[in-house]
Amino acid sequence: MEQAINMSNQPTSVQINLEKCLMTPYTVHDPRHVSDLKAQFYDQVAAQKLIDQGDPLVYEIYHHAFITDATDMAMGMSVIHPGKVGCEYHMTKGHLHARNDQAEVYYCVRGQGLLLMDDMADDFQAVDFNCGTAVHIPPQYAHRVVNTGSDILVFVSVFHVAAGHVYAQVTKQGFARLVVEVKGKTTLIDNPKRE
Ligand SMILES: [Fe+2]
């Protein structure tokens, strides 16, 4: 759901309510269910079964764009619900930026998980992403957040609208490693699609 983006050269505020998981006002609210991420999850049989059983919500995004005559910064709030598809934890789709000069900051304000960063060549990093952790994601690194906890994971993002979101390469190849639960423990395993 998108609302009108108001251009303003004046200082602008948004309110983040962590109890209700709301950011107001917002210009975009985008709920993403298992069916929206089917290509991202490794276990296609488990994904289809969940879709057939009601297609649970994996995560929601709220964005607010601060458009002025000169800049286009935006703030997002993402809420990842706990759960798994097969043995793989709920996660965001993951994307690259269309522009190769665009970084982003992710700030975890609730929950626990991992932030995966992958240059889609030879560098992959999975950093602990827990309440209080802020990470600068350099340009040209694909990024994805995984909720490995039993509570919701909420993070705030700051970026430029013009950075652009590109999903195709990540959807096709995936990140270098998958985050799965093995015998009750969070475990990273190599992604067969990348070997
Ligand atoms: Fe991004």
25 belongs to a structural domain = yes
Can you give the residue range of the structural domain that contains 21? 15-194
Beta bridge pairs of residue 72: 67
- Total domains, the chain: 1
Q: What's the pTM?
A: 0.96
CA of 195 to the centre of ligand 1 (A): 25
CA of 143 to the centre of ligand 1 (A): 7
6 belongs to a structural domain = no
Mean pLDDT computed over 169-181:
96
189 belongs to a structural domain = yes
Those residues whose C-beta lies under 8 Å from the C-beta of residue 140, and which sit 6 or more positions away, are 96, 97, 100, 119
> Burial, 175: exposed, middle or buried (Cβ in 10 Å; 0-12, 13-18, 19+)?
buried
What are the tens digits of pLDDT across the range 117-160? Answer: 999 999 999 999 999 999 999 999 999 999 999 999 999 999 99
- Report yes or no: 33 and 57 within 8 Å, Cβ to Cβ: yes
CB atoms within 10 A of CB 55: 14
3 belongs to a structural domain = no
CA of 53 to the centre of ligand 1 (A): 31
What are the tens digits of pLDDT across the range 77-128? Answer: 999 999 999 999 999 999 999 999 999 999 999 999 999 999 999 999 999 9
pLDDT at 2: 59
100 belongs to a structural domain = yes
CATH assignment at residue 103: 2.60.120.10
Percentage helix, strand, coil for the chain under 3-state DSSP, each rounded to 5: 15, 50, 40
CA of 52 to the centre of ligand 1 (A): 30
10 belongs to a structural domain = no
What are the tens digits of pLDDT across the range 28-72? Answer: 899 999 999 999 999 999 999 999 999 999 999 999 999 999 999
1 belongs to a structural domain = no
